[in-house]
Structure 1
Amino acid sequence: MQKLGTYYLDVALRGSRGISTSPIRMNGKSNSLFLKSTRRKKSSHEWLQRQLHDPYVKWARVEQYRCRSAFKLLEIDDKHKILSPGMNVVDCGAAPGSWTQVLVKRCNPAINDPSQPAGSIISLDIQDFLPVEGAHILAKSDITAKETQDAVLNLLQSTDGVDAVVSDMAPSPSGFQEMDHENIVKLSYTALRFSLKTSKVGGTFLTKIWDGRLRLKMEEDLKRYYGRVQVVKPKSSRSDSAEVFLLARDFKGLKA
């Protein structure tokens, strides 16, 4: 009976225009691949619909930001006042450049208004991305690599340290929530180690994580080096997302 059902299904598909004529075994590998493909198409459709109806996506086009994530940093700064003209900031995981656009506007306005103090924005990402006027771009650069860290330090030679390190780094999602959480926390610790090496006393560290069991541990570690630590979730961060930001302020410095 099972073979007969499979046969008629195959015949029906062969007679359907535009559909593959490969046999489909209801309990075999082909069916599994078919179901996975269907799920991917459904997920892509849902993502597209969400993008089309997302007001921040539309607003990003109007304001000429490269993506909606710009509004997360804007909201955080509007509320917590972490950025100001003249600051030296390192942007980790900068592609496609929307956070860098915000940083240039708020920390390096001298490119448009000479009366304002000039800051220094260094933006890096393992991916390639287009330049942003007013920022030093280190594309195809891995923050975990010593040569990348040395390149950033060389650009900072004319300053007395970094005022803020911000990280929007995230790993490619694996589909396993716990694994994704662990991977993004590892990236955040990488950015933190860099921040500890380059920040001036009183500096700020901002990093994105996906909420999970390691968040409290990272908060405690941040409190060892920063005077104030808090969890923030801007309104532009989707409510159904596990995304949160850890904001650490008043860097205490490293004891010799």
Structure 2
Amino acid sequence: MWTCLYLQVRGIHSSTRLLKKAPVRVKGKSGAEQRWITRQINDPFVKAAHLQHFRCRSAFKLLEIDDKYHLLKPGISVIDCGAAPGAWSQVAVQRVNSAGERPDSTRGHVFGVDLLHVVPLPGANFLSNRDITSPATHTELQKLLPEAYADVILSDMAPNATGHRELDHERLVYMCLSLLELAEKLLRPGGSLLCKYWDGALTHKLREGLSRAFQDVKTVKPNASRKESAEFYFLARTFRKTWI
């Protein structure tokens, strides 16, 4: 199924090389805003997300990572941090069978958390307008999770960009580090964490923190991450619950 998805993305990508649209001129938009709109129009993953009814192109990042590393399996419980608009939760719902669409597979659970409102999704339980770093949110999740533990924590969250690259990098690193407290409370021993970061001076600090808590930490950059972007992911596996 997902092989077909990637073939469609490649096909769209090939056609956009031939039919790439000229820069858009939108009245009242700055040059940077016009470049962003043009990039979105010509992005094959944006087109594929529309065709496959994903809420945004980031779904293909998780699909690619999961196809390679097999994080999401039927029957497991997943926490999606910074879930809005819900594309990663869509992938998780399909892969862990939380909507029960595959009666021959065990049914899993997906819980999404975001400061923003997230449009409901069958198979996902969204905690909208919640702070994933808040102890109150942790307690709420603990009550909802089967056996009070998750098997996988996903994080595609990011702070609102200030335009200062190193400041944005630093803020995201500390957001990722806060997930270690969440893991200590709610991640099952042996579980996994996947988190986005922007590369910079504190990348080593994040890797070191993850390496203390997890047996294996890998750097991942899926094809759906734009080549020019500083965006990467850390995939941390085999959680050691007594790491502190």
Instruction: Output the CA distance in 1 between the equivalents of 2:182 and 2:29.
Output: 37
The count of residues paired between Structure 1 and Structure 2 equals 218
- Within 5 Å, give how 1:63-142 maps onto structure 2: 63-109=52-98, 111-142=100-131
Q: What's 2:178 paired with?
A: 190
- Give the letter aligned to residue 160 of structure 2: S
Please report the TM-score for the alignment, with normalisation by the length of structure 1. Answer: 0.82
The structure whose Rg is larger is: 1
Q: What's 2:197 paired with?
A: 209
Instruction: Output the CA distance in 2 between the equivalents of 1:40 and 1:242.
Output: 25
- Give the letter aligned to residue 254 of structure 1: T
Q: What's 1:154 paired with?
A: 143
Residues 101-129 of structure 1, C-alpha deviations (whole Å, 9 max, x = no match): 00000012552122210111100100012
Q: What's 2:6 paired with?
A: none
Secondary structure at 1:111 match in 2: coil
Q: Which runs of 5+ in 1 are unaligned?
A: 1-37
State the 4+ residue runs in structure 1 displaced beyond 6 angstroms. none
Instruction: Output the CA distance in 1 between the equivalents of 2:225 and 2:80.
Output: 19
Q: Does 1:249 align with 2:229?
A: no
Per the TM alignment, residue 196 of structure 1 is displaced from its structure 2 partner at its CA by: 2.1
Larger deviation: 189-198 or 57-66? 189-198
**2:219 paired residue among 202, 208, 231:** 231
Q: Which runs of 5+ in 2 are unaligned?
A: 1-26
Residues 145-165 of structure 1, C-alpha deviations (whole Å, 9 max, x = no match): 222111111101x32521010
Q: Does 1:167 align with 2:150?
A: no
Larger deviation: 78-87 or 43-52? 78-87
Per the TM alignment, residue 78 of structure 1 is displaced from its structure 2 partner at its CA by: 0.7
Residues 124-180 of structure 1, C-alpha deviations (whole Å, 9 max, x = no match): 100012011001110111112222111111101x32521010111100110101100
**2:210 paired residue among 222, 226, 233:** 222
Residue pair 2:161, 2:168 contacting (<8 A) in 1 also = yes
Per the TM alignment, residue 218 of structure 1 is displaced from its structure 2 partner at its CA by: 1.2
Instruction: Output the CA distance in 2 between the equivalents of 1:117 and 1:67.
Output: 27
Residue pair 1:94, 1:169 contacting (<8 A) in 2 also = yes
Distance 1:217 1:115, change over 3 A: same
Secondary structure at 1:192 match in 2: helix
Secondary structure at 2:215 match in 1: strand
Instruction: Output the CA distance in 1 between the equivalents of 2:243 and 2:179.
Output: 19
Secondary structure at 1:49 match in 2: helix
Please report the TM-score for the alignment, with normalisation by the length of structure 2. Answer: 0.86
Instruction: Output the CA distance in 2 between the equivalents of 1:224 and 1:39.
Output: 50
- Give the letter aligned to residue 183 of structure 2: S
RMSD (Å) for aligned C-alpha atoms: 1.7
